Structure 1
Amino acid sequence: MTRQILLDPMLPLWLIAALASVALLACLLAALRGLPGWWLRALGVVTLAVALLNPSLQTEEREPLTDILLIAVDDSASQDLSDRAAQTEAALQDLLTEAETEGLDTRVARVPDGDGDSGTLVMGALSELMAEVPRDRIAGAVVISDGRVHDAAQAPDLPAPLHLLKTGRADDWDRRLIVSNAPSFAILDEEFTITLRIEDQGDVPASAGTQAEIILAIDGGQPRGYVMPVGEDIQLPVTLPHGGLNVIEFRVPEAEDELTDRNNAAVVQINGVRDRLRVLLVSGEPHTGQRTWRNLLKADAAVDLVHFTILRPPGKQDGVPVTELSLIAFPTRELFSEKIDEFDLIIFDRYQRRGILPSIYLDNVRDYVEQGGALLVAAGPDFASADSIFRSPLAPILPAAPTAIVREEGFLPAVSELGEKHPVTEGLPRGFGLDGAPWGRWFRQVQVDALPDTQSVMTGLDGEPLLVLDRVKSGRVALLGSDHVWMWDRGFEGGGPQAELLRRLAHWLMQEPELEEEALVASALGQEITVTRRTLGDAPGAVTVTAPDGSETELDLAEEAPGRFVGRLVGPEQGLYRLQEGVRTAVIGLGPAAPREFVQTIATDEVLRTAIDARQGGAVTVEEGTPDLRAVREGRRASGRGWLGFTPRGAYLTADVRIMSLVPAWLFLMLAAGFATWAWLREGRD
């Protein structure tokens, strides 16, 4: 039970104060004039002022409320390392028992990994706990964690001490890989550097050594190993093998007794771009379709085109020596001997042997292709003639042999059954032609016989091969058995997708990975992984997906288009996923290869030190035992050896309130009148 005096003024306080001041001033003047009743008049004024203030006595019946201890338990991924999870549960049970002994209520929040890669958001959980209970009942807050909190700067304004029960062991150590500098794109065939660092943290044993091996693999390919010093930045030279997206994986083998290998890997995705695409176009004679090739190649500002055209028609014999047909000497020796390896693509457009290019130059072209180069032959009537380049040193690498027949009649180019699966021709845009035809017609086709183990992806008259592709050792060759692709460019009968077809064909010849016919590709949107298997063969088997924690999942693929099989799954966590189907492998990263929880893994109290000190709290290692709880006065240091403090709040619930006037109004009136009468009588006698 508590009592207190309350005032309920009958008039505004300022008015009461003003009236009382005037009356007391009059009493003061009376005293100065020597009137004997001045003090009685002053008592009367005071009595009236007190009456106007209307004092009353309030009596409350109070029921005391228990204080509350807030507990935030870190259940993030880093708490699963070593025996931290067991430490956490044991510390929580001991703390709950100790709180019950001290008469404290508890509110517990379990804090999992934050959404995305936001890490451990303990302070957000504490703020939510504070919003659920009255502020004047909070006696303290305890965080059970390894101390790797990622929202420490957002600590709530606690009215009581904040403490940390730190999990982990004093002898914990960990090794991690850091990629501090990597470009987002790089030029093909040009060396660039990536800055790497291997860093050891915690109580590093002597057996860890001062050097470590790092393994590099591109697109899940053959790994290469390097030895690096620990604790130093290293510039690692890298050259991209192909254009488009290159996924480079770095990995450090797990060391003995380190906490985790989740931060021993890093993934860098770099787009490979060609500085300048160098193309050599050799035209055997001027013709209508020549402009199509030139326009296509010159439309791209990144293409350096060298166009070699033989101007004298085959039937013209005017006695002028071949060496004197050009105003300036064309550098055939330089192009076909010294610098042939600098070209990304060579195109022979209606070329036939005339003695201008010696056989040794054509030998060089064949060697160029076998060593990884790209050759496209756009055949016209020349390919069926006696001077065909099939009857030259190029014959061993060409994918089809001419039959010496040239068919000149209208036909509609079509994609073969194999071509429906091949990335060069699959899904080519339709709807160009007239009367429902997909494309416009061509009017000339060189009859060829496709050689074994080649790929006929387009057909013409009577289903005969029109576009034939082949791989020759490390290089690639394509043969287009017609010189009428220009009719699509001119829009004849609606035209066709000549630009898309020739673009795909050139990119396939230059071995761009997105046009590989046998490929395992993965892409990610958020946490969803889309796995695509392209193949020209039968349906592939299931894809084995290895998650960052080492668990494996079998993913079945469904055919979405001819030769394209797709499967989707949601990755349960962020990190590096490895995919394998038969001998084909791929890698894909969801978020960083090492999520935020595994960037720093050694337990520490430094992250929360500022928040703890600001609230007079302390940090205790669970390994040393769970501390006792003690009550401390507000503003005092709330931690010591083996104990943590809480501040009693003294909160209560008011059960009953009674208010009683101290003196009745009539009594105040009689007292005031009595003092005034007494003063009058006394002054009257005097």
Structure 2
Amino acid sequence: MIIVFENIALMPIAAIFASAAFYFAVIKSRAPAILRILRGFAIALALTSAAGMSVTFREEKPKKTLAALIDVSDSMFLSARSGDICRYFKKNLKSLESVYRVELFTFAGALKSIRPSQIYSLEKSGPTDIKGALRELQEAFGSGIDGILLFSDGVQTAAETVSSSSRQRQNNTYGNIPVFALDVFTERGDVRDVSLADVKPPAFSFKGSRNELAMNVRSRGFNGLGAVVTLQMATGDGAAREYAQISSATLTLREGDNPLNLPFAAAKTGRIEYRVSVSTFAGETTRENNSKAFAIDVLRDKLRVLYLCGRPSYEYAFLRDFLKNDFGIELVTFVILRNPENVALVPDEELSLIPFPGADVLMNRLPDFDVVIFENFTFERFGIYSPHFEVLKKWVGDGGGFLMMGGENSFAGGGYARTPIVDMLPVTIGQQKEPEETGLFAPVTADGAEELLYGRDEDVRVRKNLPKLDWLQIMSPRAGAKVPIKHPWARTTSLEAAPVLALLDFRAGRTAALATNSTWRWRMGSADRVYETFWKNLLSWLASARDDTARNIIGPPQKAIIGEDVEFLVKKLSPAGRISATVAGPDGRRETLKESGNGGDYAAFAFAPKTSGRHTIEITESVSGAALRKSFKSFVAGPYWADESSNLEVDREFLGRLAQETGGLYVSADMAAAEGGLPSEEISKRLKSSPREAGRTSGEASTPTVFFAAVVLVILAELALRWKRYGLW
């Protein structure tokens, strides 16, 4: 409703006469109430008529709805672009809301609705998918949106671009809602920057093997300058984390792309974090893209074993022969042939024996090994003390494997009750030497532990004719330890069956205690396969502490490219394990994968995703038909994803083509700086036609003539009432 007064100047005079009339005709009058009310109404109508008041009733048109899409991808935060957007809305949001209904969204990959106050606390949200954001908006709101205001630098992650050829708008890849690309950025001219792009580490590596880190050093404005690319490996955790350089290369920058392959070798196993960086220069737009971090699963190409034996024995001879002839094992062994107190009649340099470097091995060489074996080894005479065992204990706690084998100089007999490693052994030992059980015996396997000895061998004759072991140190298992092999009659002090083999998970590592040194007897005759199976299984279990949880599926990247092979390895829990693999696509369909290779402890698979979206790999490992474990790992497949942080230039050409193809408008910086923040006339021409009612406007419902007629009618009504009911004045 709109009220208009045409005779503003006459209103004071009219108000005076109206007040006098109201005083005498209404307040002072003794007429009945109904008559005084009619008189007051007539006076008010006369006043409004004299002032020329008119009343118009109008139904307003509904506002057009604009969706403001704000890009919060990585590239928007590497320069001042996000700040430019904040300043634009701070200046123009109220003006926009006075003309349009404005809905606010942020996007990088996914679309997110936000409140106006959240514009000023934007956070980056990963790579950009402009096409996906536009499609998601139109699918969610459809006809509820008349136009889209796009605040983006056009640096999109997906390689797909807007076609330069004209198409029918109904077939537009980017939808049929006009897009208005606003260039609100203060950047002008060429960007000066050096960045790392397309860093492609190997999906996995083997310890000690040579690798190449592929990358592209992108240069803008620094042609001819020298740059150093450095690769560092992380050491330590948390606040103690440091980076040690392991490789570097020098290159002369050319304008544009500078491909580089940087060689390096993985020094230790596990999931290792690396950082690659390139020199920084004065005048760069940002230095945030001069380095990138990544992680690689580093595997053992061979199982590395350190074997320390206190004296020659059959156990040492047979086990050393077996291990050194296994191509999957790298063995370093020391056997003590001459103790320090033994007197030699010739100088040490003329002896063919070398001094035992025990202290050096434990202090400096442990990271080179996966498993350490002590057999019948007394340490004190070789200069090994408590600090050396602290190092050994920490190494095991960080994921190493340790085995102590029986013998008169093992466990309590070797003085190990006085060392820090007593807490990590799977058996309890005291200061006194353990009792012994002599004589031959056939070990008893616990339920489910037969696989440890026999693998998949179903030959009952081998089991029945397995040679017996000889001699045992009697010890009690520690709380939490597993006892897969026991003595048939020997008992501990708590009357439990004495363990032949005890196993314990110690922090991130594993330990084992073998209470006999007579497994060499299994190497005889038809039991030779049992001996090999037992030792491979035991060493594999000790070495795989880091590999049997979430990292048993190794290699698929977080993002894969449609049509390109995705390769991954599966770490087996058991050498006898059989691996089956399936992959479920985004539509839920499953594909069974075939092994592309088998490396003993690892099974290799490869397949090429055909559709975009999340894929989930499911691995099942079974032994003798029984499922041993299931593992899952997911990744996302899509078109080629570029590294947007290495391209800092606003892609105005792309934004212009996008606006043109959708029937919208590229709003230049000058147009965006105009009053109201938008060229309203140009915008209105291009907004989508809305199916909503356009609105209508009525004419004047009251004019001065109408008011005068109403006054006359009221006066006549009063006269009629007085004549009929009350008589004349």
Using the size of structure 2 for normalisation, the TM-score is 0.43
- Larger Cα-atom Rg: 1
TM-score, scaled relative to structure 1: 0.46
